[in-house]
Amino acid sequence: MPVGGTWGKLLHVDLTDGRHWIEEPPDEIYIKLVGGRGLTAYLLLRDLPVGADPLGPDNLLIFAPGVLQGSNLPGSGRHGVGGKSPLTGAIASSEAGGWWGHEFKRAGFDALIVHGQSPKPVYLWIHDGEVEIRSAEHLWGKDTADVEWAIQAELDDKRIRVAQCGIAGENLALFANVLNDINRAAGRGGLGAVMGSKRLKAVATRGTLRVPVAERSRIGAVSKWLGDNYKTQAAWAVEIGTPRNVTSLGAASALPTNNFGKAMFDERDRISGELMQETILIGRDTCQVCPITCKQVVEYEDATFEGNPYLRSDFINKLKVDKAYGGPEYETLGSLGSACGVDDLIAVAKANEYTARWGMDSISLGMTIAFVMECFENGLLTPEMTGGFKIGWGDAAGMLEAIDLIAHRRGFGDKMAEGSKRLAKWIGNGAEAYLVEVKGQELPMHEPRFKHALGVGYAVAPVGADHMMNMHDTAYVSPGATLEKVAEVQRFEPMPATYLGHEKMELFYHEVNWKHLLDCGIVCHFHPYNYRHVSEALAGVTGHDYTPREILTVGERAQTLCRLFNLREGFSAEDDIMPRRVMKAFKEGPLAGVEITEEAFFTARNYWYGLMGWTQAGVPTAERIEKLELSDLLEGVQVATA
Amino acid sequence: MAVTIQATGILKQHIAPGLTLDGVRTVGEAVARLDLPEMGELILLVNGRPAYWETALADGDVLHLVPGISGGNRRPATGQEPPVYR
């Protein structure tokens, strides 16, 4: 009898020779790793040759839900995607919402591991235990919505869920993403390019099987709590969603502006969530089994919004924005808005449509364009170097043109599609001074000078700069539900967001383990569960009596496995650093004079290494590997511990 | 000793423009005195500078409360919800 919440089956498909086979892992894999990131990191350590080319046949593309997918727990409408990142060379491990993960799990498998490279474009059709490789030559080069609808028509079922790489992934843009349900993205790290390199256009899935769970009543109790409380405990998500951050972080000088180079975005009211609600927002959207409904849906055609004091656009009556592609969340309003100095909401909405239509991570896309803008502004790039392309701060039309060039790898887009770090190397001449990335992955839209522990988190996240497997200091400046949640394992008093002492890093240790655990489960971070809710849900699904401390250990295992993978691929503590720009103080605004000194950063980072049981060189010790009960799993696997 | 309270976004529903509080020595005392429904994440600024619950307040200070995006809230949802697309 498999562990509850699982089938005991990992599906492997080799696209080079068309074989597929089932692996039946021992129960301890599911109990110790749960799924998602933990499972992904373990499989990569075990099966990926060291130094593999991320765009070559040896890379693995792993679609990994967790034990909770298929359980109908609110917040379980998610799945993970992972592999070796072509952008960074480190592990890539992203999550996406929607319905695909739930559907795939009900199709009878716990994960999909794609090997090899197909000689021609194909898609996988996985349904109720059956696996087919089908030609995708007619789908290659098509937009994501057209691909999804075409597959549903071809297989005559509108309830089929589709995960795919877009045109950008086909063209191997290094920050191409994997989209599912048209507009839900496993965003960071270029997994769409990995998918495109395998000539795997899509994974279509339909499942009617009932996922076995151990004790449904325990899951039901957590679900009921969520249903009774989400309107108050996740009010922000219900009322407006992530776009609230434009106004909120903007007020605190924490809305990244002009490539993190400017303290305030004075025009933030022109790209805010509130303005979106007044103008182009036509509805909200959700994921499998989620009542919160946090997503944005926008549409634009032919409206002038006369009388609105904030909306200002060069594109009134000049373009359309298609609602099929959702709407901009905060990261996109920032990366393709304030980070580029763009204050044109309709242009940002169109840019968002392009990211979903063609399949690109909006954060790396926007920040690469912002880097290009800054290089032009400082004379490091000229139209002679770029074949005539030119762009500067706030140039919305240029931004839209850049996105088109990047997705299709046309003209200067071919260079921009490599990401800002490679682009800086090509430009030379000191362009590296304008880079805002860690390990080659561009920073998300949260200002480390305001959230200091988050800055350390950017430096140490296994995938490069990342805001989700991280801690947001602003949640701990007051008493409330977040500190009460952590009090389950350690009690903390409120701390300033700009404090970076030992207590902050102890809080960081627990909360980042928690975030990694959520990405193993898999549970949406926006659901206001505490440690007990999720340990109870995991216990109910699996039949294993997880405690809050034990689930944090699951998260720590996932982090440690990611670390071992990265060390093996040549990364070290020297790569766990913050970009210089975001350590230096602004001269004006609420954060004037607030810096992160090198001493404070390294003291905090190294203290956290100790909490993780890693050496001061950032290497997990054999003792901690043993304590995490990973030694057995790693037998025969090439890793280096201290 | 008087402290002026400013609010952004949805918090404006609970804080009248120009509101002042007397006798509050810290940000935490001021927020408690406001008797807001338990808010989620609050971004706290004093005189435009980052603050936290224990930040001391002085006469004439301006405390700016900004709603963040996490944490719990006992206040029932208000207002018309936009239509669900799917």
Q: A130-143: per-residue pLDDT in tens? A: 999 999 999 999 99
Q: Which CATH number goes with the domain that contains B47? A: 3.10.20.30
Strands B62-67 and B2-7: parallel
Cα dihedral value A632, A633, A636, A641, nearest 10: -80
Tell me: pLDDT of B37 over 80.
no
pLDDT the model gives residue B71 = 58
Alpha-carbon dihedral sign for residues A538, A541, A542, A544: positive
A559 within 8 A of A567, measured Cβ to Cβ? no
How many angstroms separate the CA atoms of A336 and A362, rounded? 7
Pick from A231, A496, A590: CB nearest B76:
A231
Sequence letter at residue A501? G
Residues in a beta bridge with A165: A178
Percent of chain A with pLDDT over 70: 100
pLDDT the model gives residue B43 = 94
A522 within 8 A of A95, measured Cβ to Cβ? yes
SS3 category, A532 = helix
Q: Measured between CA atoms, how close is A48 to chain B, in angstroms?
A: 37
Per residue in A499-533, pLDDT (tens digit) is 999 999 999 999 999 999 999 999 999 999 999 99
Q: Is B49 within a domain?
A: yes
Residue A233 to residue B73, Cβ atoms within 8 A: yes
Q: Are both A391 and A494 inside the same structural domain? A: no
Tell me: pLDDT of A394 over 70.
yes
Strands A281-285 and A295-298: antiparallel
Q: Is B38 within a domain?
A: yes
Residue A209's nearest CA partner among A7, A468, A23 is: A7
Residue B51 to residue A477, Cβ atoms within 8 A: yes
Cβ–Cβ contact B39 with A under 8 A = yes
Measured between beta carbons, the chain B residues lying within 8 angstroms of A594 are 50
Q: Measured between CA atoms, how close is B1 to chain A, in angstroms?
A: 23
Q: Which residue has the tokens 């691909």?
A: A147
Tell me: pLDDT of A480 over 90.
no
Tell me: pLDDT of B80 over 50.
no
Q: Are both A458 and A554 inside the same structural domain? A: yes
CA distances A577 to A152, A364, A473, A562, Å, are 46, 18, 19, 17
Measured between beta carbons, the chain A residues lying within 8 angstroms of B79 are 239
Helices (H), A254-342: 273-278, 330-335
Residue B75 confidence class, pLDDT cut points 50, 70, 90: very low
Domain count of chain A? 3
User: What's the average model confidence in pLDDT over A583-601?
Assistant: 97
Q: Are both A255 and A203 inside the same structural domain? A: no
pLDDT the model gives residue A232 = 87
User: What's the average model confidence in pLDDT over A618-630?
Assistant: 98
Per residue in A419-435, pLDDT (tens digit) is 999 999 999 999 999 99
Strands of A190-325 (E only): list them: 200-206, 281-285, 295-298
Angle at A457 between CA A633 and CA A552, to 5 degrees: 40
Strands of A109-264 (E only): list them: 111-115, 122-127, 130-135, 161-165, 178-180, 184-186, 200-206
How many angstroms separate the CA atoms of A364 and A358, rounded? 14
Q: Which CATH number goes with the domain that contains A257? A: 1.10.569.10
Domain count of chain B? 1
pLDDT the model gives residue B81 = 35
Q: Is A642 within a domain?
A: no
pTM (two decimals)? 0.97
How many angstroms separate the CA atoms of B66 and A289, rounded? 31
Residue B49 to residue A590, Cβ atoms within 8 A: yes
Phi/psi of residue A500, nearest 5 degrees:
-135, 30
Phi/psi of residue A626, nearest 5 degrees:
-70, -45
Q: Which residue has the tokens 């803008």?
A: A373
Q: Are both A421 and A564 inside the same structural domain? A: no
Tell me: pLDDT of A364 over 50.
yes
Tell me: pLDDT of B82 over 90.
no
pLDDT the model gives residue B1 = 77
Tell me: pLDDT of B83 over 90.
no
Q: Is A220 within a domain?
A: no
Q: Is B80 within a domain?
A: no
Average confidence score pLDDT of chain A: 97
A614 within 8 A of A621, measured Cβ to Cβ? yes
Domain that residue A554 falls in: 452-526+547-627
Per residue in A224-253, pLDDT (tens digit) is 999 999 998 898 999 999 999 999 999 999
pLDDT the model gives residue B74 = 40
User: What's the average model confidence in pLDDT over A567-582?
Assistant: 98
How many angstroms separate the CA atoms of A128 and A108, rounded? 6
